Structure 1
Amino acid sequence: MTTIRKFCCNDLLEITPILMDQYNEHHKSADTRTLSWYMSTIAIWSKYFLVAEAPGNRIMGFNVAKVGGNDLSKCCQIAHVAPYIRYYRSADLVKMFVENIEVTADKIDKVFYLEMLVRSANNQKINLFERLGFVCYDQGEDRLSLQKHLPRLTEYQAHMTNLVQQKLQQPEASNTGPSVPPST
């Protein structure tokens, strides 16, 4: 059975094979983030820095996310969802990570949407995230912005739509002054 838990400093050595496996598997440059980036991320966003463990404490993958923005632009940006694809089914693991991030972002940080930047050539990852409810919102030169609206944004949009409709249905007040009832 897979267990999702918070990342700890000891896990830094354990994720190295995962990063190297992704490098070999997709023939792209390895993750160039520094040790200080990981340490500061653990310190600030520990609730979004998670690992999946298999029985025997073997790490199956990890994810990193952080919250940014304010008001309607408040979102949870997913920086990494990295399953150890050599040994484990990546789609199931990614789904577990995204569901965990979604619950935490919605219930605790009250964000409006999740965002994931994906290389535009990575069709497998794009299809996987689209199956999880993400939609492509922005196309850059070499990346796509995939977003998933959380219930809070949908409720807000419905509320604002109702307010606008109510405003449109109200009769306009006359600009000629107060209305006087007709005399009988």
Structure 2
Amino acid sequence: MSFYMTYLARWPDYFHVAEAPGNQIMGYIMGKVEGHGESWHGHVTAVTVAPEYRRQQLAKKLMNLLEEISDKIDKAYFVDLFVRASNTPAIKMYGKF
């Protein structure tokens, strides 16, 4: 829990939750900004979409939001993320962005 609270306290603009009617959580994204000079960038720490809301481009919308925040608030040069090499569906999805 302290990991998430530290991120939230330090980078609150990089936390977003997508809610369905009735306050059901559809998905969320959390990130941060890091680096120096030309390597100053936004970083996606976690992006998750509930199974019943997948394939509706919600992850894309959350990723675009984090990219926009990285650019407009922190003037980041790019956004990165890490994914397991075995996570083929995620790699394909991120490759489209």
**What TM bracket, shorter-length normalisation?**
over 0.9
Distance 1:98 1:117, change over 3 A: same
- Whether the 8 Å contact between 1:91 and 1:128 is mirrored in structure 2 is no
Q: 2:30 matched to 1:64?
A: yes
Structure 2 stretches of 5 or more lacking a match?
none
Q: Which runs of 4+ in 1 moved over 4 A?
A: none
**Whole-Å Cα distance in 2 between the matches of residues 52 and 84 of structure 1?**
10
Q: Percent identity?
A: 37
Query: C-alpha displacement at 1:113, in angstroms?
Result: 0.7
**Whole-Å Cα distance in 2 between the matches of residues 41 and 72 of structure 1?**
23
Match of 2:61 among 96, 101, 104: 96
Structure 1 stretches of 5 or more lacking a match?
1-34, 133-184
More strand by share: 2
Highest RCO, 1 vs 2 (Cα 8 Å, sep ≥ 6)? 2
- Whether the 8 Å contact between 1:78 and 1:116 is mirrored in structure 2 is yes
* TM-score normalized with structure 2 length: 0.95
Q: How does 1:1-184 map to 2 (within 5 A)?
A: 35-85=1-51, 87-90=52-55, 92-132=57-97
**Whole-Å Cα distance in 2 between the matches of residues 90 and 113 of structure 1?**
25
- Whether the 8 Å contact between 1:53 and 1:61 is mirrored in structure 2 is yes
Letter in 2 for 1:92: Q
Q: Secondary structure at the match of 1:62?
A: strand
Query: C-alpha displacement at 1:90, in angstroms?
Result: 4.5
**Whole-Å Cα distance in 2 between the matches of residues 36 and 91 of structure 1?**
32
**Whole-Å Cα distance in 1 between the matches of residues 63 and 24 of structure 2?**
20
**Whole-Å Cα distance in 1 between the matches of residues 55 and 50 of structure 2?**
7
Larger radius of gyration: 1
How many residue pairs get aligned? The number is 97
Q: Deviations over 1:138-180 (max 9, x none)?
A: xxxxxxxxxxxxxxxxxxxxxxxxxxxxxxxxxxxxxxxxxxx
- Whether the 8 Å contact between 1:84 and 1:90 is mirrored in structure 2 is no
